[in-house]
Structure formats: structure tokens, C-alpha cells
Amino acid sequence: MDVEIRDIHKRFGAVRANAGISLRVTAGTIQGVLGENGAGKSTLMKILSGFQPADRGEILLDGRMAHIGSPADAIRAGVGMLHQDPMDFPAFRVIDDFLVGRPGGISLSPGQARRELQAQAEHFGFSLEPNREIARMTVGERQQLELLRLLWQGAGVLILDEPTTGISAPQRETLFAILRQLAAEKKTVLFVSHKLDEVERLCHRVAVLRQGRLVGEESAPFDTAQLVRLMFGKEIVVSAPRSTAREETVLTLEGIEVEDARLHVGPTSLEVRAGEVLGLAGMEGSGQSLLLRVCAGLMSPVAGRLLLDGHDMTHRPYRSFHDRGVAYVPAARLEQGLVPGLSLTEHVLLSERHRGPLIDWKRGRAKTARRIHDFNIRGEPDNTVESLSGGNQQRALLALVPDPARLLLLEHPTRGLDVESTVYIWSKLKQRCTQGTAIVFVSSELEELLRYGDRVAVLFSGRVSAPVSAALTSVEELGELIGGKGLEPAA
Amino acid sequence: MTGEAILAGLSGVLAASGPLVFAAIGETISERAGVINLSANGVIVLSAMGSFAVGVATGSLLLGFLTGLLIGALVALVVAFGNITLRQSQVALGFVLALVCRDLAYFLGNPFMGASGPRLSSLPIPGLSRIPVVGQLFFAHNLLTYLSFLLVPVAWYFIFRTRQGLVLRAVGERPAAAFARGANVNRLRYLYTVLGGALVGLAGPMFSLSMKAGWKGTISGLDGIGWIALAITIFGAWSPLKVALGAYLFGLLQWLGVVLQPHLSGIPSQVLQVAPFPLMILTLLLVNIGNAEWVERILAGLPPRIRPAAAGLLRATRVSPPGALGVPFERD
Ligand SMILES: Nc1ncnc2c1ncn2[C@@H]1O[C@H](COP(=O)(O)OP(=O)(O)OP(=O)(O)O)[C@@H](O)[C@H]1O
Ligand SMILES: [Mg+2]
């Protein structure tokens, strides 16, 4: 389907999220949409899919004016969207979630849907068990489910707002093959991403947004430096930082085992030293978040011992972990990390250890303004967190991490961050390391794991490898480890 | 106590719990869509009075019951309009309506005090009602009681087994996501609030035109039942089966209080009258125990052989309210 957007405007208070954007995408094109955090990409996509009304502007589908006033209209017109953060129902089971919005008669006939879901998931190599509760899945797995739903919906225009945050490299190739296939069938794909290599490989054309305006369009083959210049108005240098690991051990796991209803992780023994960065690699749902949650004191291990700075912390409550300087940053930023409805200032005040009955708003606002500046958040102290763009929510989350901290546990710390912020955030984190903070982080980006980690441990369906040195491992080797190579099969 | 008397008593419990079943399931439907309709108690009193008045004036039972339905629907419409369209607080609105409707009923009901109106007669089902025990328990009631029996599985099937029911739950769980999938959130919320309100409204005439026909300024056991329905909706974890179970349990406990009183002379009668309430609270604590952090901690310490079973059991008892209960849906 041909898509034409004409002069779209959208304001949120003083922020001009879209300031007169016009774009034509012909049928059969995979159109990339690039732009720094807060540039207005998601807003534009939400307008196109009827989720948000535009203040002004027109949308034409196949040359005809389309009146898209709601997602229902958009779906009827053949426009489907994958949102940046999963738009699903945490309390539901996978199969029920999958069925919401499916047309059909009164009876649900879940058997049929279940078979189709499983066939689709198998094709991608996703493990999405129909009876699992969404709330117990990782953000990446939830995004996988959303992706399958969108493909199953069978739209003529597919909008994907950062679809690759939770999937591994081989799964990404499957997705790309499907998207190319859809484009060959004259469907239109709009692909929003911060991963330039993906955009360059997949897209036929790219539109770059900056501060709500379209600042450039390019066709394949792309020049990375040119794209970066268009996005940020300057060059970005990415360099691998030096290790700051010290001698003393911060975190010790001795034969730790942990489990939830689905997965048993361990036994795991590892040590993380002060100033060291340990990466956790693996397909989504291989046990990374269970391991992090145990280290954060949010779950109790079913076997083994956990020591912090030599103190036995096994089975201690979260509070004592917190008091020992452990900070945990979950991936589900709007559900577990931030409190929707509260402003940035309120978040900063909440995260303080300062105890006392009265709130010093003036100091709180000043402190928040400083953090906003430090972490380059596009927003005001009084903005509620859900009004921030996806990447800016992520920055806010990281800005709330207590300082100083002894051990930082980060789940997908740069999910949704643009290239510039990724570099910037890591420079901030590394700065912490020089002060002796240890970091354990989960990521699905192999480059990120190898560039910023000192060592990388690989998880494969609950088994944890001995950490490998990041400097001595290539992206290809790490990819193979993630696929299960080098780990003995389960006894 | 003879077996005959016990049977009659239990049959009476099933009938007497009917209004509670209607009201609590009506509230369940409304809350599943995300709207708390706190007006239930006032609505039930007003619809009891209103339907009795219409029954007296027209002599028609049908019109009487329809009046109850209509009063419930109209008050729910006010709640929906105030909350969905005007974005006012559901709680404040519902609470005020609960008080206003009740006082209105007492005021408007004066002229009808002591009047004699029609009464729904019982309708034993030929054949079935002759089955020993079962027949007397389930098949010797009036039409509305049969409907209350039917409502339970029908509501359950609708909410958990149909596409419309799935969307209903979706709307109450996370309206933005339901909206993104093409649901007209606010229209559905109107629809289910009004439908749920109508069911609540039916509880009124079940008193005044059936169980305790008449209007003597009030009806014993009428005022207060709406609040119990609201509580049972929560105890029943917003599931029609458990909600109905709660309603019958409450009816049973009340009956036991009456029956046992002569035998338990040491215990003041007030204790037996209020006993159902703390018992229900205890149930609430039990069904929510799986949510507590210390339970997880104990669980992790169990031997591996019994751990999965214990964890599964706790998960099954875990309840959580509809995610967006009481939260208006706003598009930005
Ligand atoms: N609901 C809202 N209320 C207020 N402001 C909003 C809202 N949604 C978006 N904004 C603002 O509009 C601007 C553009 O946001 P948008 O989400 O479109 O950015 P984006 O390009 O998708 O960024 P990211 O890469 O971080 O996801 C941001 O400054 C954001 O704070
Ligand atoms: Mg975005």
C-alpha cells in the first residue's frame, strides 16, 4: 500500500513532537525511520496507526484520503503497529493476549490460535508457551509475542517501533527475511530503530527526524557517517573503554540455584570484582533476569550461597541488599522501574534515602534539574515519566540509580537509547566503575557486551557458562556460545 | 432438627442469596470493564421501592421487575457519564449516589407504605422438582431464583470463554492496549457499566416483589446488602463462580446464625450476626497469601520435591484486581 503523510503537526504542551512532517512511502518499500531520542518518531507512528490524533495534517493510503481516528480505523484500513514498549496485558496468559483484537465469532476457539501461535513461534525460534502469564515473561519475550501478533494480523502497512530489542541475532535474520518477503508482496514496512547496522542492511530508504522535523531522506546504499550527522548534527566516536577492575571481590555466588515456575538456573559460581563489568549474554528468557533478581535480593535462591563484600546475604530481604549498596534497574521500565503518573522530581525524591516527614520541593526540583542536565533527558522536572519518549524514560531510569552504589545490576541498560546516549550512558557507568562500583548487566547486543563488559557469562536455558574474557572473544564466537555451543547438554 | 427442616433451610438459603448473586455479578461485570459502581446499595433500596410502587400501581410483576432493571441501568449511566465522559472520580460519585438513592427511596416510598402489591409465586418445575433432595433444593423456586442460578455459569462463560468477554477483560485490564487493538474502550465501558447496573437493579424487586414482598418503610435485610455485594465481588476475585460461592456462603452463614442461636445461648446473638463478616475477611487474607514476599522466601527453602506443587498452589490462589480498575481511560 502507498502511504503518504502530509504536514503532520503534534504538540504536547510546549513540546513540538511533530512539526510539519511530510513523507511518501511507496508500496513494497521498507522505510527506515531514524532520529535521536525524543525526535518524534514514535509520535509520528502512533498518529499513522490511529493511536494518537494529530493536531493537523493528512494521511493518504493508496492516494486516497484516509480518516484514521482510532486504531480500529487504522486496522480496518490495513495499518498495524508494534509499539516501542509492549502493548499487552500483563495479567493475561499468552494465548488470551494473542487473541485480543482478533476478529471472529463469539466463541474464542483457542485451539486453532494456539496451533498457529506455536507454529509461528517455532518458525522464529521463540519459546512462547501459550499458558504462560505475560507478567512473568521478560520484556523481550513480550515484544516477541507482539511481533507475532502483528504479523498474524496481516496488515498492508506494518509499523515496527524498535522491534529488535528483545531478539537474538538469528531471530533477527528470520524477522528480516519475513519483512523482505512482505515488501516483495507490495506491503509497506515502516521500521524505527536506533541500530544503524540493522537499518542499513534492511531498509530501502531512510527518513531522519530531528526535533519534530524531517531533516533528511536517504536511499540505499547508506553512508553511516552521513546518517549520524543527520541525526545528531555531529559525528559520534565510539570507543571501547579500559578495564577498571580491582582486586577486591564485591559479589560472590557459590553454587547458586534459582527457579521460577518454568526455569531452573544454576548451579552457578562466580565472582565479580570491584570496578569490574560482567555481561550476561543469552537468548531472552534463558535465566538472565532470574540471576539478576537473586543478586538484587528480590528472589531467594533455592540452593547455594550469595556474598556481598564477604557478608553472607543468602535469604536476606531486599532491604539489606539495598543497604549494602545494591541497585537493580529492570527492563520493564514503566512497570517495575518508574511510577507512571509521578513526575521526574517526585521520582528523584522517592529514590533518596533521606528520611523525614517533609518534602523539600525546591531542593528536589533543583536536584532533578541537575540530573536532567547530567543525563541529558529531554523533559522538565514536572513532566510525568510516561510523557517522556522511550529513550528518555530509559535515561530517567538510569539517572535514578543511587550514587554511590557498590553493585549495579542492569537489565538491558541501553534499550531504546540512541547511539549518542548509549556512548554517553556507558561513559557515566564506567566513571562509576573507577570509583569501585561493580556492574552486572544483561544485554541482547553482542557488540555492547563485548565493548563494555570485561568478562561475559553466557546463559543457555538456565545453565551458566564460566565467564569468557571480552577482549579475547569475537562477536561470532559469542553468537555461537549463545546458541548453546560449548555448553555440555543437561544431564 | 429434622432432615426435612434442614433441606427447607438450605433451599431457603439458595433463594435468599439470589439478590446477592445478581448484585455481585452485576458489579463484577462492571468492575471487569474497569468501572467501580459504588452506588449498588442505594440502587438496590431504590429499585426495591420503585418496583414495588410500579407493581402496586399497575398490578404487573413484569413492569415491576423492569422498573428495577431500569433504575439500576439509569444510575449506572450516571456513574458512567460522570466518570467516563466528565472524568470525575468513580468512588466519590458512586458513594454519593449510594446515599442519595437510599434516602430518595425512603422519602418517595412513604405513600406506598403498607400497600399490598403483587408477589412472584414459586414455580416448581414439573418432574424435576419431584426428585428427592435435589428437586427441593434447586427446582422448587420462583423464576428469578432460577435466573440467578443460570446467571452464574452464563456470566462465567461470557467473561472467560467468549471473544466479547475477552475484550471486556482487556478493557478493564489495560485500556490503552485494548484501544490499540481496535476496541472502543469508552463505549464498551458504558455498555458494561449499564449492563452491570441493570443486574444490580434486579436485586431490589427480588425483595419487594418476591422474597419479602411489600414495603413497610424498608425491608429487613435489604439495606446493607449492596455493600456486601461490593465486598463479595472482591473476595470472589472478579470471577462469577467464586463470587457466587461467596454469595451463597454468606447466605449460609446468616442462616446458620439464625438456626444455631437457640443452641448457643452463651454467645450473644450479635456475634453470630456479624460473624460472616470477619469470616469473609479471613478468606480474603487466605486467597491473597500468595502475593506476600515472605511466602516466596519460605517457598525457596522447601525441599525440591514439594516445592513445585506448593508454588503452583500458591499461584492458583493469587488474585489481582483488573489492572485499570477505577482508572479512567484518556487518549493524549
Ligand atoms: N503523551 C505525551 N505527553 C507529553 N509529551 C509527550 C508525549 N508523548 C511524547 N511526548 C514528547 O514528544 C517528544 C517526541 O517523543 P517521541 O516518543 O515521538 O520520541 P521518539 O523519537 O520516539 O524517541 P525515542 O527514540 O526515545 O523513542 C518528546 O519530547 C516527548 O517527551
Ligand atoms: Mg520512541
Per-position DSSP letters for A396-434, written without gaps between them: HHHHTS-SS-SEEEEESTTTT--HHHHHHHHHHHHHHHH
Give pLDDT, residue B291: 64
Q: Does A75 touch chain B (CB under 8 A)?
A: yes
Pairing of strands A407-411, A326-329: parallel
Give pLDDT, residue B332: 65
Cα of B152 vs its chain's centroid, Å: 11
Sheet (strand A3-12) strand order: A15-25, A3-12, A56-61, A64-65
- Give the three cell numbers for residue A149: 501478533
Partner B, chain A 368-387, Cβ-Cβ below 8 Å:
387
Q: pLDDT category, A369, cuts 50, 70, 90?
A: very high
Strands (E), A72-221: 79-82, 157-161, 188-192, 205-210, 213-219
Cβ-based neighbours of A78, under 8 Å, separated by 6 or more: A1, A61, A155, A156, A157
φ, ψ for residue B112 (rounded to 5)? Answer: -95, 5
- Structural domain count of chain B: 1
List, for residues A391-415, the tens digit of each pLDDT value.
899 889 888 888 789 999 999 999 8
Minimum CA distance residue for ligand 1 atom 28: A38
Q: Does B191 touch chain A (CB under 8 A)?
A: no
Has residue B282 been placed in a domain? no
Q: Does A233 touch chain B (CB under 8 A)?
A: no
Has residue B314 been placed in a domain? no
Check whether B285 has a pLDDT greater than 80. no
- DSSP run (H or E) holding A23: strand A15-25
Does residue A467 have a cis bond before it (omega within 30 degrees)?
no
Ion ligand 2: residues, CB < 5 A: A 42, 84, 389-390
- Measured between CA atoms, how close is B144 to chain A, in angstroms? 26
Nearest to B181 by CA among A321, A142, A442, A146: A146
* CB neighbour burial string for A4-28, b if at least 16 within 10 angstroms, e if fewer: bbeebbbeeeebbbbbebebebeeb
Minimum CA distance residue for ligand 1 atom 12: A17
Give pLDDT, residue B299: 76
> Ligand 1 pocket check: which of A388, A392, A421 to mutate, most ligand atoms within 8 Å of Cβ?
A388
Give pLDDT, residue B125: 87
Report the alpha-carbon distance of residue A409 to residue A391 in Å, rounded: 19
Report the alpha-carbon distance of residue B186 to residue B167 in Å, rounded: 12
Nearest to A106 among B164, B184, B332 (CB): B164
Q: pLDDT category, A490, cuts 50, 70, 90?
A: very low
Average pLDDT over residues B296-318: 76
What does DSSP assign to residue B162?
Answer: B
Locus of grid cell 438459603: B13
Longest dimension (CA), chain B: 70
Check whether A374 has a pLDDT greater than 80. yes
Report the alpha-carbon distance of residue A471 to residue A449 in Å, rounded: 11
Report the alpha-carbon distance of residue B45 to residue B68 in Å, rounded: 10
Give pLDDT, residue A296: 92
**Whole-number mean pLDDT of chain B?**
88
- Please report, rounded to a whole number, the percentage of residues in chain B having pLDDT higher than 70: 94
Identify the domain containing residue B122 by its residue range. 3-240
- Closest-CA residue in chain A for B180? A71
- Measured between CA atoms, how close is A296 to chain B, in angstroms? 14
Has residue B23 been placed in a domain? yes
Tell me the chain A residues in contact with residue B169 when contact means C-beta distances shorter than 8 Å.
Answer: 89, 92, 96
Report the alpha-carbon distance of residue A270 to residue B185 in Å, rounded: 50
Has residue B179 been placed in a domain? yes
Contact A465 CB / ligand 1 (< 6 Å): no
Has residue B122 been placed in a domain? yes
List, for residues B152-208, the tens digit of each pLDDT value.
999 999 999 999 999 999 999 999 999 999 999 999 999 999 999 999 999 999 999
H helix intervals, B236-301: 240-260, 269-274, 276-288, 293-301
Pairing of strands A213-219, A311-312: unpaired
Has residue B257 been placed in a domain? no
Give pLDDT, residue B102: 94
Report the alpha-carbon distance of residue B90 to residue A411 in Å, rounded: 37
Check whether A310 has a pLDDT greater than 80. yes
Give pLDDT, residue A486: 63
Give pLDDT, residue A450: 93
Check whether A214 has a pLDDT greater than 90. yes
Which of A10, A68, A81, A89 to probe by mutation at the B interface, max B CB count within 10 Å? A89
List, for residues B85-121, the tens digit of each pLDDT value.
998 888 899 999 999 999 999 999 888 888 888 888 8
Long-range contacts of B52-59 (CB under 8 A, 24+ apart): B52/B109, B52/B112, B52/B115, B52/B117, B52/B205, B52/B208, B52/B209, B52/B213, B52/B214, B52/B215, B53/B108, B53/B109, B53/B112, B53/B215, B55/B117, B55/B118, B55/B205, B55/B208, B55/B209, B56/B112, B56/B115, B56/B116, B56/B117, B59/B118
Q: Does B87 touch chain A (CB under 8 A)?
A: no
Contact A207 CB / ligand 1 (< 6 Å): no
φ, ψ for residue A208 (rounded to 5)? Answer: -110, 130
Check whether B62 has a pLDDT greater than 60. yes
Q: pLDDT category, B36, cuts 50, 70, 90?
A: very high
Angle A390-399/A419-434 helices, nearest 10 degrees? 10
Has residue B295 been placed in a domain? no
The number of the ligand 1 atom at minimal distance from the alpha carbon of A209 is 21
Judged on CB neighbours under 10 Å (0-12, 13-18, 19+), B126 is exposed
Check whether B269 has a pLDDT greater than 80. no
φ, ψ for residue A421 (rounded to 5)? Answer: -70, -35
Cβ-based neighbours of B21, under 8 Å, separated by 6 or more: B148, B151, B152, B243, B244, B247, B248
Asked whether the beta carbons of B326 and B91 are under 8 A apart, the reply is yes
CA of B86 to the centre of ligand 1 (A): 27
**Whole-number mean pLDDT of chain A?**
89
Q: pTM for this one?
A: 0.88
B26 bridge partner residues: none
CB contact under 8 A, B297 and A89: no
Has residue B329 been placed in a domain? no
Report the alpha-carbon distance of residue A380 to residue A201 in Å, rounded: 36
Minimum CA distance residue for ligand 1 atom 17: A389
Check whether A491 has a pLDDT greater than 60. no
Nearest to B102 by CA among B42, B38, B39, B23: B42
